[in-house]
C-alpha cells in the first residue's frame, strides 16, 4: 500500500512538472529535451529492470543506463544500433517501443508496463536531438547556482528568489503573509515540537518591532526544546529503540546516546562533525568519551538471542543494517537493493555494496546478545558517573605501580632465594588443591572430593570406565558432572585447573569444563576450557567476544591418548596472565582475545537470569557441544596460579605413583622412578617438603620455577605486596562492575576479511573485497584511510554530491511537510525529481559554505517569505498546485504523533520539561505486551515520568507505544526517512479516550475554572491554550451550548462525572464541583479533537 501511494504521488508530481513545462509530453521542435528530468525517469521506470545496472538480470546484453551501452550494435552491416544519435530509423530501441507486434514491442506486454504517446514522442525527439546522456542529477557535483534577480518586494532572502521564479513559470502568485497567531504556532512546532503558551503568543503579538519575528526565531532556536525536537526526527533515522527487537525483544538502555544527540543539536554541533562522530568518532586521534559515545548510532539496530539462531548469520545482518542505514540516512540511496545483485536502477554494484560493508565489518561483536545475563554486547564504553573516571584511572595507575613494585621485589629477592635454597637442599615444588576428584567412586550418582568437602552430581549418566590410574569418567556429549559451590572465581582471583583427559573423536568443539550458563553465544559469562578442533582453548569471559581474555594452544591433542592438561590464571585480567600446560610443559599458544574489564561471575543484582544454575561443570554445556566419548580423570581445582614447576610435578606425580600406569602414551616422556612415592594429588603437601628431584627439576629452568614458588609462598615482602595488589584489583573490579556500559564502535586490531556474499547469504562467500565506495557516485580519495574514519571523511567531503543535498532536503521537509525531493529515502533514479533543483543546490552549497550550520539553515528557511505565507490556498493555487509542490502557499500538514501528545501535555501545564535521562513508561492499555507474545508485562511509571516529552517514551520494537503508532510513528525496526501520514477513526478515539488526553483535558479545565472566571472567559482561554488563537463568536456560541448540555447531563448523572474525573494519576482539584469540572473537561477534550489541534497551518 505504501509503495502504491508512493507511485501515485510520483505520477502526480511528474504531471505537475508536465503542466509547468519542466518536462512535457509534447515539445516544440526547437525546445531541447533534458535527459535527467524527462528521459531518465522513463527509462528508469520502463527499461532499467531488464536493461539497467544489474548485470545478472540484464537481458540481450543491452544496457540503457549508460550512453556507451545504448550505442551497442544490433546489426553493424545495416548500421543499426540500440540507439543511434539523430536517427530513429537506425535505432532498434525506437523500433521496439513503436512496434505493434507482441513479440517485438518493448516493454513486453507481460511486464504490465507501457509507454504512452507523449513519452514515445519525447524519446523520439531526444534521439533526434542526439540522444545525449547526462549524469543523474543527484550524482553530479553540487555547484552553487546564481541567485535569480528580482525586484519583487515579496522577497525576503535568496530562498524566495528561487521560489518566486518557479511560481512565475507555473503562472502562480505567492500567498499573503500568515497572521502572527498562525506564525508563532507554526514556528514553535517547527523549531521546538511544542505549541506556544498564551503568554508567548501575547508577547509576540505585542512586539511591533521590525525584528519581532527574527527575535522569536532566535529564542526558539536557543531553547533546549529545539534539541529535543531535532533529536526526535533523528531517532527515526537512527532506528532508536529501548529494546533489541525480534522475538524476545529484551530491554536495553541506549538513552545516553539520545542525550548526546540532544546536546549536540542544542549546541549547534556542525552537521558534518555530527555525522562524522557518529560514524567514526572512536577513530579520531585522542578520541574523547563523547566522540566514542556518538558511534552508538551504528549499534542501534535490532539484535537477537533466539534459540537456534546462527551467530554469524545475525552478525552479518547487523553489518548489513549499518550499510542500509548509512545509505538511507546520509546518502538518500537504497543500498539494500544491491545486497543480492547489482542495483537495478542506480550505478551501485553488488561489489560496491560489500566494499561499503567492509567499513562496518571490523568490530569485535557477536551476532547474539546474552540470554541469561544483562551484559552489554561488545564493544562497549563505560559510562562514568561523577568522579568515577578519575577514581578508576587512579586505581589503574596504582595497580600498575604495584605490579612494578612486585617486579622490583622479585629482582631483589634472588639473594634471599639462594640462601634459602642452601638451607633447604632438594626442595621440590608441590601444589595443594582446593579440591581433587579421582573419580574412583560414583556411588549415589555423585563423585566426591578427596577431602570430602566437595562433591559433584552426575548428570545425564556419565559412565565409569578405565581411567588413567584406576577409574575415570566417559562422557557422551550430553552427560556432565556439576559441582555446586565450588570455584566461583572472580576475574581478580588467581586459579588453576588440572586434569587428565583422553579425547577419542575429532570434534569441531568439545566442552572440557566451564562455569557459565550457556555457550559462547554471548551467554557464556564465566570461565571455560574447550577443545576447538582438538586444540585447548582457555577463556575468561564477561561478554564474548569483546569483553574477554582467551588463549588457544597451537597444536591439537592426540586422539586416543591420555594427556595431562593444566590451565593457570594469575588474576591480572590479561591474556598474558593465562597459560595452558600440556603434559607438564607450557604449550605454545595464540592470544584470541585480550580485553577483560568486568567480572566473570553471574549476579542477580545485575539482572542476570538463572543465577542458581551457574556451576562448575565438566563435559557439557547448554547450547554447546559436549566432550563426546571422551574420558577424564584426576580433576583438580586450585585457588591460586600454579607455577611451572608445580605443574610439572602434577604431571610427573601420575608416573611416580606406586599404582603405576595402565598405558603410558608413547609420546609422553618417561620419568625416573622416585625413591619415595610422590602421589602429589592424593597426598598433597606444601612447598618446603624435602623430596627427590625429578628429571624436570634438573633442567636449567628448574631453579627459576622454584624461585617463583618461593616468591609466592615464602618471601614475606613479596607475599605482602601481592596481597596489596590483589586488594587494589578487587577495588577496581568492584568499581567498574557498578559502572554502566553502552554499545559503541571499536576497530579490531586485525581487519576481519569481507567477502561478496552470493545472494546476500552469510554462508555463501565469493571473492574477498576491500573497503570502498561506489566509484560512479564519488570516488574514494586515495589520501583517506580505508576505515570508518575515511568513510566519514568521504561522506563529509564537500565534493560528495549527496550528503548536503540529503541533509538540507530533510530540514526543508521538517518545515514544509515534504522535501524539495519528496522521496528523502531515495535520491536515485527511482526517486522523485526535485521540485526546485536550483534552490536545493543553492541551499546545499550555502550549507557547506557556512560550516554545515544547522541553526543557520533553519533560520534561513523560516525567515523566508515562502515559509511565512498563509497556508490558505486560492482557487487558482488549488487547481494548479494542489499538493503545494511549487510552494504557492505556506505549509499545512498534520503534526507528528509526538507533537500531538506533547501539545496536550504542554497546553494543560502537565509537561515536565526535564531534558535527557532514561526512557519512561506513560499510560498504555493493559496487556499489549503480552498480546505481542512478550513474556514481560508493561509496568506503568508514576509521577513526573507520566508527563515527560514523547521523545523519552519507552519504545519497544515489537509493541511500540499505541498512541504513537496510531498517528503513524514507526516501529523503528529499520532506518526510516519519512513517515506515512494517515487519517483514521482510531486517531479520534485516541484523542477522546486515551488517559493522557483525558487527564490533560481535566487538568486544563481545572486551571480555566480557577479565579472565578466566567464561562465565556473559560471558553476563550480554552481556545487560546489548545488551538493558540481566540475563538470566533460563532465558535464560542457552539462551545457554550456544548458545555451547557454536558453540565445538564453530568448533574443528572454525577457518577458519570466522577468516573470521567478519576482518569489519570494527577490529583484532582477538590474545590471544583464535579458536574462543572466534567463539563469543562469535555469542552477541552472536544477542542483537542478539533482539526486545528492536530494540524500545523
Taking only the tens place, the pLDDT of each residue in 305-318 is 888 889 999 999 99
Stretch 427-446: mean pLDDT, rounded?
A: 87
Give 845 or 934, the one with higher predicted confidence. Answer: 845
CA dist 645 and 433 (Å) reads: 15
According to the model, what pLDDT value does residue 709 have?
Answer: 82
Condensed to tens digits (0 to 9), the pLDDT of residues 186-198 reads 999 999 999 999 9
Stretch 498-506: mean pLDDT, rounded?
A: 96
- Choosing from 665, 690, 720, the residue where a domain stops is 720
Residue 778 forms part of a structural domain: no
Within 10 Å of residue 517's Cβ, how many Cβ atoms?
25
Inform me whether the pLDDT recorded for 429 exceeds 80: no
Condensed to tens digits (0 to 9), the pLDDT of residues 368-415 reads 998 888 899 999 999 999 999 999 999 999 999 999 999 999 899 888
Residue 12 forms part of a structural domain: no
DSSP string, 598-625: S--S--GGGT-S-GGG-EEEES--TTS-
CA dist 501 and 489 (Å) reads: 23
Q: Residue 9 — pLDDT band, cuts 50, 70, 90? A: very low
7's grid cell: 507511485
Condensed to tens digits (0 to 9), the pLDDT of residues 144-187 reads 999 999 999 999 999 999 999 999 999 999 999 999 999 999 99
Condensed to tens digits (0 to 9), the pLDDT of residues 778-822 reads 999 999 999 999 999 999 999 999 999 999 999 999 999 999 999
Residue 86 forms part of a structural domain: yes
Coil vs helix vs strand at 356: helix
Q: What b/e readout covers 383-409, taking b as 16+ CB neighbours within 10 angstroms?
A: bbeeeeeeebeebeebbeebeebbeeb
Q: Which of 549, 543, 519 is nearest to 602 (CA)?
A: 543
For residue 908, the surrounding DSSP H or E stretch is helix 897-908
Grid-cell match 537506425, residue found: 90
According to the model, what pLDDT value does residue 18 have?
Answer: 40
- Choosing from 679, 699, 720, the residue where a domain stops is 720
Inform me whether the pLDDT recorded for 91 exceeds 70: yes
Contact 975, 298 (CB under 8 A): no
According to the model, what pLDDT value does residue 653 have?
Answer: 78
Q: How many folded domains does the chain comprise?
A: 3
Inform me whether the pLDDT recorded for 219 exceeds 60: yes
Residue percentage of the chain with pLDDT more than 70? 92
Residue 239 forms part of a structural domain: no
According to the model, what pLDDT value does residue 446 have?
Answer: 94
Q: What is the mean pLDDT of the chain?
A: 91
CA dist 279 and 297 (Å) reads: 7
- Choosing from 720, 755, 776, the residue where a domain stops is 720
Give 913 or 649, the one with higher predicted confidence. Answer: 913
122's grid cell: 519525447
Contact 1005, 1080 (CB under 8 A): yes
Domain CATH number, residue 559:
2.60.120.200
According to the model, what pLDDT value does residue 695 have?
Answer: 30
Q: Domain residues for 1048?
A: 993-1096
Residue 430 forms part of a structural domain: yes
Inform me whether the pLDDT recorded for 57 exceeds 90: no
Residue 831 forms part of a structural domain: no
DSSP string, 1017-1068: HHHHHHHHHHHSSPPPHHHHHHHHHHHHHHHHHHHH-HHHHHHHHT-SSSPP
Residue 49 forms part of a structural domain: yes
Beta bridge partners of 383: 740
The dihedral over CA atoms of 984, 986, 989, 993, expressed in degrees to the nearest 10, equals -150
Contact 494, 713 (CB under 8 A): no
Stretch 534-540: mean pLDDT, rounded?
A: 98
Find the angle CA(31)-CA(34)-CA(38) to the nearest 5 degrees: 110
Residue 65 forms part of a structural domain: yes
According to the model, what pLDDT value does residue 523 have?
Answer: 64
Amino acid at each position: 500500500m505504501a509503495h502504491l501511494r508512493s507511485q501515485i504521488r510520483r505520477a502526480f508530481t511528474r504531471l505537475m512538472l508536465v503542466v509547468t513545462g519542466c518536462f512535457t509530453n509534447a515539445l516544440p521542435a526547437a525546445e531541447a529535451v533534458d535527459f535527467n528530468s524527462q528521459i531518465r525517469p522513463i527509462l528508469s521506470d520502463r527499461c532499467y529492470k531488464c536493461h539497467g545496472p544489474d548485470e545478472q538480470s540484464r537481458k540481450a546484453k543491452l544496457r540503457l543506463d549508460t550512453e556507451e551501452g545504448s550505442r551497442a550494435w544490433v546489426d553493424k552491416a545495416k548500421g543499426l544500433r540500440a540507439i543511434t544519435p539523430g536517427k530513429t530509423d537506425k535505432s532498434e530501441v525506437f523500433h521496439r517501443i513503436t512496434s505493434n507486434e507482441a513479440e517485438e514491442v518493448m516493454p513486453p506486454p507481460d511486464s504490465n508496463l507501457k509507454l504512452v504517446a507523449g513519452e514515445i514522442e519525447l524519446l523520439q525527439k531526444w534521439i533526434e536531438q542526439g540522444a545525449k546522456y547526462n549524469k543523474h542529477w543527484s550524482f553530479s557535483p553540487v555547484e552553487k547556482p546564481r541567485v535569480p534577480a528580482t525586484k519583487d518586494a515579496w522577497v525576503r532572502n535568496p530562498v524566495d528568489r528561487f521560489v518566486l521564479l518557479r511560481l512565475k513559470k507555473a503562472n502562480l502568485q505567492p500567498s499573503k503573509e500568515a497572521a502572527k497567531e498562525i506564525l508563532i504556532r507554526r514556528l514553535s512546532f517547527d523549531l521546538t515540537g511544542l505549541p506556544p503558551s498564551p503568554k508567548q503568543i501575547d508577547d509576540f503579538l505585542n512586539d511591533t518591532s521590525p525584528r519581532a519575528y527574527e527575535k522569536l526565531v532566535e529564542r526558539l532556536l536557543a531553547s533546549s526544546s529545539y534539541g529535543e525536537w531535532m533529536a526526535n526526527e533523528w531517532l527515526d533515522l537512527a532506528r532508536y529503540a529501548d529494546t533489541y527487537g525480534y522475538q524476545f525483544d529484551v530491554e536495553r538502555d541506549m538513552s545516553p546516546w539520545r542525550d548526546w544527540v540532544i546536546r549536540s543539536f542544542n549546541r549547534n554541533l556542525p552537521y558534518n562533525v555530527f555525522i562524522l562522530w557518529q560514524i567514526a568518532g572512536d577513530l579520531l586521534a585522542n578520541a574523547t568519551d563523547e566522540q566514542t559515545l556518538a558511534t552508538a548510532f551504528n549499534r542501534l539496530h535490532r539484535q537477537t538471542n533466539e534459540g537456534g539462531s546462527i551467530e554469524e548469520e545475525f552478525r552479518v545482518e547487523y553489518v548489513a543494517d549499518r550499510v542500509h542505514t548509512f545509505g538511507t540516512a546520509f546518502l538518500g540511496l537504497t543500498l539494500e537493493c544491491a545486497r543480492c545483485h547489482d542495483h537495478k536502477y542506480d550505478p551501485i554494484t553488488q561489489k560496491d555494496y560489500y566494499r561499503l560493508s567492509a567499513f562496518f565489518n571490523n568490530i569485535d561483536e557477536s551476532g547474539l546478545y546474552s540470554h541469561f545475563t544483562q551484559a552489554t554486547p561488545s564493544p562497549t564504553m563505560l559510562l562514568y558517573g561523577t568522579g568515577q573516571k578519575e577514581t578508576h584511572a587512579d586505581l589503574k595507575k596504582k595497580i600498575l605501580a604495584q605490579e612494578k613494585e612486585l617486579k622490583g621485589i622479585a629482582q631483589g629477592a634472588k639473594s634471599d632465594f639462594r640462601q634459602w635454597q642452601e638451607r633447604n637442599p632438594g626442595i621440590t615444588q608441590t601444589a595443594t588443591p582446593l579440591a581433587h576428584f579421582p573419580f574412583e567412586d560414583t556411588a549415589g550418582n555423585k563423585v566426591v572430593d578427596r577431602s570430602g568437602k566437595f562433591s559433584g552430581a552426575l548428570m545425564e549418566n556419565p559412565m565409569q570406565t578405565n581411567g588413567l590410574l584406576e577409574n575415570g569418567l566417559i562422557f557422551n556429549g550430553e552427560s556432565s558432572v556439576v559441582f555446586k559451590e565450588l570455584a566461583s572465581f572472580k576475574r581478580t582471583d588467581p586459579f588453576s585447573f588440572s586434569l587428565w583427559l583422553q579425547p577419542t573423536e575429532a570434534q569441531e568443539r568439545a566442552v572440557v569444563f566451564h562455569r557459565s550458563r550457556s555457550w559462547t553465544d554471548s551467554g557464556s559469562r564465566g570461565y571455560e576450557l574447550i577443545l576447538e578442533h582438538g586444540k585447548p582453548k582457555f577463556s575468561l569471559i564477561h561478554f564474548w567476544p569483546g569483553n574477554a581474555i582467551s588463549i588457544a594452544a597451537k597444536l591439537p591433542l592426540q586422539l586416543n591418548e591420555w594427556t595431562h592438561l593444566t590451565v593457570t590464571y594469575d588474576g591480572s585480567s590479561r591474556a598474558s596472565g593465562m597459560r595452558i600446560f600440556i603434559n607438564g610443559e607450557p604449550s605454545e599458544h595464540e592470544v584470541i582475545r585480550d580485553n577483560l574489564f568486568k567480572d566473570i561471575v553471574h549476579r542477580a543484582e545485575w539482572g542476570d537470569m538463572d543465577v542458581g544454575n551457574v556451576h562448575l561443570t565438566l563435559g557439557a554445556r547448554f547450547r554447546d557441544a559436549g566432550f563426546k566419548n571422551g574420558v577424564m580423570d584426576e580433576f583438580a581445582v586450585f585457588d591460586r596460579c600454579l607455577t611451572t614447576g608445580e605443574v610439572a610435578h602434577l604431571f610427573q606425580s601420575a608416573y611416580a605413583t606406586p599404582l603405576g600406569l595402565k598405558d603410558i602414551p608413547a609420546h609422553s616422556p618417561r620419568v625416573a622412578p622416585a625413591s619415595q612415592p610422590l602421589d602429589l594429588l592424593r597426598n598433597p603437601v606444601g612447598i618446603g617438603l624435602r623430596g627427590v628431584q625429578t628429571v624436570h627439576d634438573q633442567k636449567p629452568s628448574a631453579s627459576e620455577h622454584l624461585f617463583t614458588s618461593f616468591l609466592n609462598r615464602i618471601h614475606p615482602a613479596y607475599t605482602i605486596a601481592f596481597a596489596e595488589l590483589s586488594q587494589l584489583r578487587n577495588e577496581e573490579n568492584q568499581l567498574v562492575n557498578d559502572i554502566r556500559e553502552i554499545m559503541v564502535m571499536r576497530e579490531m586490531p586485525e581487519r576481519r576479511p569481507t567477502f561478496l556474499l552470493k545472494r546476500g547469504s552469510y554462508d555463501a562467500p565469493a571473492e574477498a573485497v576491500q573497503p570502498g565506495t561506489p566509484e560512479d557516485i564519488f570516488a574514494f580519495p586515495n589520501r583517506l584511510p580505508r576505515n570508518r574514519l575515511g568513510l566519514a571523511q568521504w561522506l563529509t567531503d564537500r565534493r560528495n554530491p549527496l550528503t548536503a543535498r540529503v541533509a538540507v532536503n530533510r530540514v526543508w521537509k521538517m518545515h514544509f511537510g515534504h522535501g524539495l525531493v519528496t522521496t528523502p529515502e531515495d535520491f536515485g533514479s527511482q526517486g522523485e525529481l526535485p521540485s526546485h533543483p536550483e534552490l536545493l543546490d543553492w541551499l546545499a552549497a550555502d550549507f557547506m559554505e557556512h560550516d554545515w550550520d544547522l541553526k543557520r539553515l533553519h533560520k534561513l528557511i523560516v525567515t523566508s517569505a515562502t515559509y511565512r505565507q498563509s497556508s490558505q490556498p486560492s482557487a487558482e493555487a488549488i487547481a494548479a498546485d494542489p499538493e503545494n509542490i511549487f510552494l504557492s502557499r505556506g505549509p499545512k500538514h498534520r503534526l507528528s504523533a509526538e507533537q500531538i501528545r506533547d501539545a496536550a501535555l504542554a497546553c494543560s501545564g502537565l509537561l515536565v520539561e526535564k531534558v535527557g535521562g532514561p526512557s519512561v513508561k506513560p499510560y498504555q492499555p493493559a496487556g499489549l505486551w503480552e498480546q505481542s507474545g512478550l513474556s514481560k508485562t508493561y509496568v506503568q511509571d508514576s509521577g513526573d515520568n507520566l508527563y515527560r516529552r514523547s521523545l523519552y517514551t519507552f519504545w519497544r520494537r515489537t509493541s511500540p507505544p499505541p498512541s504513537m503508532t496510531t498517528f503513524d510513528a514507526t516501529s523503528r525496526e529499520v532506518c526510516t526517512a519519512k513517515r506515512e501520514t494517515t487519517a483514521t477513526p482510531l486517531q479520534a478515539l485516541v484523542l477522546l479516550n486515551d488517559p493522557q488526553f483525558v487527564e490533560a483535558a481535566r487538568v486544563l479545565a481545572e486551571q480555566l475554572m480557577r479565579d472565578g472566571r466566567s464561562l465565556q472567559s473559560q471558553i476563550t482561554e480554552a481556545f487560546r491554550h489548545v488551538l493558540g488563537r481566540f475563538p470566533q463568536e460563532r465558535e464560542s456560541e457552539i462551545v457554550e451550548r456544548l458545555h451547557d448540555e454536558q453540565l445538564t447531563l453530568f448533574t443528572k448523572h454525577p457518577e458519570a462525572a466522577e468516573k470521567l474525573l478519576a482518569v489519570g494519576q494527577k490529583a484532582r482539584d477538590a474545590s471544583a464541583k464535579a458536574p462543572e469540572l466534567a463539563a469543562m473537561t469535555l469542552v477541552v477534550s472536544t477542542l483537542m479533537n478539533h482539526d486545528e489541534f492536530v494540524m500545523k497551518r
